[in-house]
Structure 1
Amino acid sequence: MGNYVGAPGSKMSRREFLAATGSTGALGLAGCTAPTQERIQAGQDGSATAAATQDGSVPTTSPPEVVNVDEQGNAVTLKSLPAAHSAHPLETMGGPVELPRVWAFQADDGNPSVPGPILRTTEGEDMEVTLDNTDGMRPHTVHFHGVTKAWEDDGVPTSTGIQVNPGEKHTYTIPANVPGTHLYHCHYQTHRHIEMGMYGIFRVDPEGYEPADREYFMTVKEWDSRLPRMAAGQDVTYDPQNRKPDVFTVNGKSAPRTLHPEAGSPVIVSQGDQVRIHFVNAGYMSHPLHIHNHRFQRVEKDGGVVPEAARHDMDVTNVAPAERHTIEFTADSDPGIFLLHCHKVNHVMNGGFYPGGMLGGVVYEEAMDTEIFSQLMEYAGYEA
């Protein structure tokens, strides 16, 4: 099991989580009786990727990690490798939901993940990003949204003439000159390579940045699973001009797996916390994201600060493809469990089962020792 729980960003230790749930109380049984015939073969908590899938060919993905690039000499190496991705591996709530083949980004010696690792740096720094494709099977690039960079570092092979072929490495210089939350992705055959999982968050903290009490990163995406299935050798045909999304994820997971404290991304808060969430849309459709019982303000968009005079209380923010919205709110509701989801209701489904898909939750620590939270953990497959 991992050391921390919750969505990437603020850290709650697993020990603190167990204490909040009552440890060996009702939650201690969660997952033991979950209605499922098959559990994930490797990486039950999302952290063990060395184990291969059933046919022994590829690793499984982990949840995305935050990489503080400043702390490692302003340099990071990215690789992409084939992996199996379980959006929700159990039979609960319309599962299992599987993407049998994705192309996952891996930072340095970390675990491959979909979304890719969150690369975090500070305004005024130059980040050296080496795309290592020495063991690759196809060309790739990396394109960073938001910041202003040299022409040859734009990551677009059509307009720069630079692509990183199998067996090659290439280093991009990415200046952190636009504070905010941004997106990076492969820009070679973009319509396929993003659909296969090659995307992640790039965060530039402004000078003197003051984090909130709780700060989280959330990437949403819809998938047409025919492409990952075709890449895994299944007898299906994918047409990017006739795309039919059938898998909907938050940080790579579909509900109820989104609520798994280690493999998923619950937004864990305590009453009175100031909460900041960085939403990124890595898909090809707009997603109106709604939080129950909390009014928030949108304070940043695409790295631009929203002037205070233009802010207002809201409970839905519609995030277009490639957009980034940062919202802030106070955790001042009756302590409980409140949904966070796309309000295109067919996106909150696993196949024909509702609820599922692009749905997460704001979970108060004060509600973690309740029977309903224990039941949700059971649906998510969590074992204390």
Structure 2
Amino acid sequence: MLGLLLHFAVTLLLPLFSGIAAWYASRTYRAPTKGKLYSRMRSSLIWMGIGGLLLIVKAAAVVVLAASGAEFAEDKWAMQLPMLAIPAAAIALFSIPAARTIRGGAVQASKEPPSARDRRAAAAPGWVFPVQVLFTGSLLAVVQQLFIAPWPLRIGTVVAVWSVYAAVVYLLWIRQKSRYRRFVATGSPETGTPAVRVFRKAGVFLTVALTAAVWFTLGGQASRLPDRMSMAGHEHAHAGDTAASQSVSVAELTGPRTGTPDRSFTLEAKKTTMTLPSGEKKEAWTYNGQLPGPELRVKQGDLVEVTLINTDIDAGVTIHWHGVDVPNAEDGVAGMTQDAVMPQEKYVYRFIAEQAGTNWYHSHQQSSKQVQMGLYGVFIVEPDTTLPRQTADLAVVLHDWQAENGTSVSLGQLNRLQRKTAEPGTLVRLRLVNAGNSRAPIYISGVPFQVAAIDGTDIHEPADLSDSRLELAAGGRTDVTFVMPDTAVGLSRQTGPFVQDGNVLVISPSNGGMPPDAVKGSVFDPASYGTPMRTKFGPGTRYDRNYKLVFDNRLGFYNGTFTFVQTINGRVFPDAPMFKVREGDLVKMSFANRGFDDHPMHLHGHHIQVLSRNGKAVAGSPWIADTLNVAPGETYEVAFVADNPGIWMDHCHNLDHAAVGMSAHLVYEGVYSPFEIGSETVNLPE
């Protein structure tokens, strides 16, 4: 992360300092006195020196980034650094020696006009041109950094950037040579009347503005999504099947259609007025009028039937069973596995709850908006076993609710202190669900605890923790267990004392008392927690498919809007990759985040095993997840078995990122989707 930030900061600063150096250098020969000439030359040299130091820092940062992986540095090596190093070398070879010549003929404090010799030396391309090229290269480096984020690096991109660089440098050379010859011929530093100079500058400004306007208009139009398209049919697939060979529709990959369900639920999506702790009333979109929605609990092995009724959500709704590896048709992704359920319509989901664990559900139609508005809830699959002792089993949902007076951070209910009771000696299980878009810290105070499960999968032989800070990925879940002491236990999203009007959960034997202050301890590390056990994947595993995902962010257009886009392999949906697998394949994926935001990547329909983080193998319990937070500068290797046929989203669960195209797809060969998205359909892209 530090290397990324340092490189980014230096890249933005270099045009400023090299631009100042170029400005002073180009004005040196026009100085009215020897003293002014010397002063401008000295100022230019000082700013050149600062730029040189920044260039060294930038090169060092690139070396650090390269140590994390070639994907972090390859575009810097191929484009940015050479475009800066070449003019920097020219400054050392030509500009600095030219400065010595100029200095030898100028007196710092003199008010006399410069000699013709001094002016010619200061106007010579050998003094000015290298600095102008450095400025040009630094500007192009910023453009590449902010607007061009390719991975893997394509030769066409490199050629295009270098062609622009060469063309601009050539034009600068022609301009500087012409200016120098005109000055030598006339002996005057002026290049025309004031009116001519104003007209020339206005022409340059209008040309740049017109070019930007054309680019902005065409870029916006080109980025617009089609009015009707298949989410699973875009062109950038890693392997291709023809439509004729795609013989199975996702609509056929259902759960059991017959049989009496063990548990049946009805969820009604509707608009509800909620009262915030501040007294403010706000419209929410809810399941059954509750926020969060009803907690659904079933037993492992149950046949579950859920009827979704849309009362008045105009855009339509669905239910995605986040963390539950349901059959593809039950996955609840509008435009991929079903059509959105429109007002006064209903839809029935049926599946067997095969794996015990903590999960949640939410709408997957315009999910960045609908989850924020309240369409989410907890779905718990309890093990089909008898618990060994008295247990208090509590689910706690983390969410960021947008109020008119700012963001209200939610822990369960809306920003209120909540109290629960548990008798001393009771085994308490807290099921923490992060329904927000950002990684969420959790502090537990007043008792040693264990992390019992991550994303619904149990940890092997967990150990006691005290004052460790849990970091829940957006969309992720963590189960915490502890034996209830005689005193109060607290759960908070911030350090400090537990107060009556705070956003905290307090568990106590007598529904009273307050726990000790939450403290900022070490961050819980799932890569080294628990003890190892045998799994399907090991150092000698041979994989049928290997894919790499590189995450980045840049300025660009998405669906007609200029925004800060989040990319996968340099692209956004519908140009983001599709990863093709066959049923039974062992699949390995590598993640690398060279951007500045966390990307909690969520693969539908499967659980992944984390093999390594930042090049270091997982040493503790097998780390199984369905939502993995990839922080800036981090790399991961993960693996999974392709054992659930269908077409599955693999997207960032910062849903605002998914809304601007950070979505890829995992596609089983021989499977197609009959559903479409776009403004002419009821299905709106994520």
- Correspondent of 1:360 among 479, 501, 505: 505
Mind listing any 5+ residue stretches in structure 2 that lack a counterpart? 1-259, 516-686
The within-5 A match list for 1:237-256 is 246-255=407-416
Match of 1:284 in 2: 437
> Using the alignment, how far apart are the partners of 2:281 and 2:352 within structure 1?
34
Compared CA separation, residues 83 and 357, structure 1 to 2 (3 A): farther
Compared CA separation, residues 295 and 195, structure 1 to 2 (3 A): same
One-letter amino acid matched to 1:220: L
1:166 aligned onto 2:343: yes
- Correspondent of 1:306 among 459, 474, 497: 459
Answer with 213-222 or 294-303: which moved more.
213-222
> Using the alignment, how far apart are the partners of 1:98 and 1:342 within structure 2?
23
> Using the alignment, how far apart are the partners of 2:489 and 2:263 within structure 1?
38
- Correspondent of 2:402 among 210, 215, 224: 224
1:105 aligned onto 2:266: no
State the Cα distance separating 1:223 from its structure 2 match.
Answer: 2.0
Q: Which has the higher strand share?
A: 1
One-letter amino acid matched to 2:397: T
> Using the alignment, how far apart are the partners of 1:188 and 1:217 within structure 2?
25
Contact in 2 for aligned 1:147/1:174 (Cα 8 Å): no
State the Cα distance separating 1:314 from its structure 2 match.
Answer: 3.6
Contact in 2 for aligned 1:221/1:249 (Cα 8 Å): yes
Match of 1:214 in 2: 392
One-letter amino acid matched to 1:138: A
> Using the alignment, how far apart are the partners of 1:156 and 1:212 within structure 2?
39
> Using the alignment, how far apart are the partners of 1:97 and 1:302 within structure 2?
35
Deviation string, structure 1 residues 35-78 (Cα, Å, up to 9, x no partner): xxxxxxxxxxxxxxxxxxxxxxxxxxxxxxxxxxxx98521111
State the Cα distance separating 1:363 from its structure 2 match.
Answer: 2.4
- Correspondent of 1:200 among 377, 387, 412: 377
Compared CA separation, residues 356 and 158, structure 1 to 2 (3 A): farther
SS at match of 1:278: strand
Match of 2:315 in 1: 138
Deviation string, structure 1 residues 87-139 (Cα, Å, up to 9, x no partner): 42xxxxxxx25351101111xxxxx2100001110111121111112554330
Compared CA separation, residues 318 and 223, structure 1 to 2 (3 A): same
> Using the alignment, how far apart are the partners of 1:188 and 1:83 within structure 2?
18
State the Cα distance separating 1:197 from its structure 2 match.
Answer: 0.5
1:83 aligned onto 2:261: no
One-letter amino acid matched to 2:484: A
Q: How many residues align?
A: 254
Match of 2:324 in 1: 147
> Using the alignment, how far apart are the partners of 2:314 and 2:395 within structure 1?
30
Match of 1:328 in 2: 481
State the Cα distance separating 1:253 from its structure 2 match.
Answer: 2.2
SS at match of 2:274: strand
One-letter amino acid matched to 2:335: T
Match of 1:35 in 2: none
SS at match of 1:160: coil
> Using the alignment, how far apart are the partners of 2:502 and 2:384 within structure 1?
37
Contact in 2 for aligned 1:97/1:247 (Cα 8 Å): no
SS at match of 1:194: helix
Compared CA separation, residues 223 and 144, structure 1 to 2 (3 A): same
Match of 1:342 in 2: 493
Deviation string, structure 1 residues 332-368 (Cα, Å, up to 9, x no partner): 25x3x443201277xx99xxxx885532212231x64
Cα RMSD of the aligned pairs, angstroms, is 2.7
Match of 1:270 in 2: 423
Q: Which has the higher helix share?
A: 2
Compared CA separation, residues 174 and 293, structure 1 to 2 (3 A): same
The within-5 A match list for 1:4-43 is none
Contact in 2 for aligned 1:287/1:319 (Cα 8 Å): yes
State the Cα distance separating 1:190 from its structure 2 match.
Answer: 0.3
One-letter amino acid matched to 2:282: P
One-letter amino acid matched to 2:503: M
Contact in 2 for aligned 1:249/1:357 (Cα 8 Å): no
Higher relative contact order (CA 8 A, sep 6+): 1
Contact in 1 for aligned 2:261/2:302 (Cα 8 Å): no
SS at match of 2:507: strand
Contact in 1 for aligned 2:297/2:379 (Cα 8 Å): yes
SS at match of 1:140: coil
One-letter amino acid matched to 1:86: T
Match of 2:18 in 1: none
State the Cα distance separating 1:175 from its structure 2 match.
Answer: 2.0
Larger Rg: 2
> Using the alignment, how far apart are the partners of 2:295 and 2:261 within structure 1?
14
> Using the alignment, how far apart are the partners of 2:320 and 2:386 within structure 1?
25
> Using the alignment, how far apart are the partners of 1:174 and 1:98 within structure 2?
40
> Using the alignment, how far apart are the partners of 2:371 and 2:287 within structure 1?
11
Compared CA separation, residues 139 and 169, structure 1 to 2 (3 A): same
- Correspondent of 1:74 among 244, 255, 263: 263
Contact in 2 for aligned 1:152/1:162 (Cα 8 Å): no
Compared CA separation, residues 298 and 247, structure 1 to 2 (3 A): same
Contact in 2 for aligned 1:87/1:252 (Cα 8 Å): no
Deviation string, structure 1 residues 3-47 (Cα, Å, up to 9, x no partner): xxxxxxxxxxxxxxxxxxxxxxxxxxxxxxxxxxxxxxxxxxxxx
One-letter amino acid matched to 1:313: L
One-letter amino acid matched to 1:288: P
State the Cα distance separating 1:282 from its structure 2 match.
Answer: 0.7
Match of 2:296 in 1: 119
Q: Runs of at least 4 residues of structure 1 off by over 4 A?
A: 354-357
Match of 1:23 in 2: none
SS at match of 2:368: helix
SS at match of 1:246: strand
Deviation string, structure 1 residues 180-216 (Cα, Å, up to 9, x no partner): 0101000100000000001000000112141743221
State the Cα distance separating 1:220 from its structure 2 match.
Answer: 1.2
Compared CA separation, residues 169 and 156, structure 1 to 2 (3 A): same
State the Cα distance separating 1:172 from its structure 2 match.
Answer: 1.0
SS at match of 1:158: coil
Contact in 1 for aligned 2:332/2:338 (Cα 8 Å): no
> Using the alignment, how far apart are the partners of 1:360 and 1:97 within structure 2?
21
Q: State the TM-score, normalized to the length of structure 1.
A: 0.60
State the Cα distance separating 1:225 from its structure 2 match.
Answer: 2.2
State the Cα distance separating 1:217 from its structure 2 match.
Answer: 1.2
State the Cα distance separating 1:170 from its structure 2 match.
Answer: 0.7
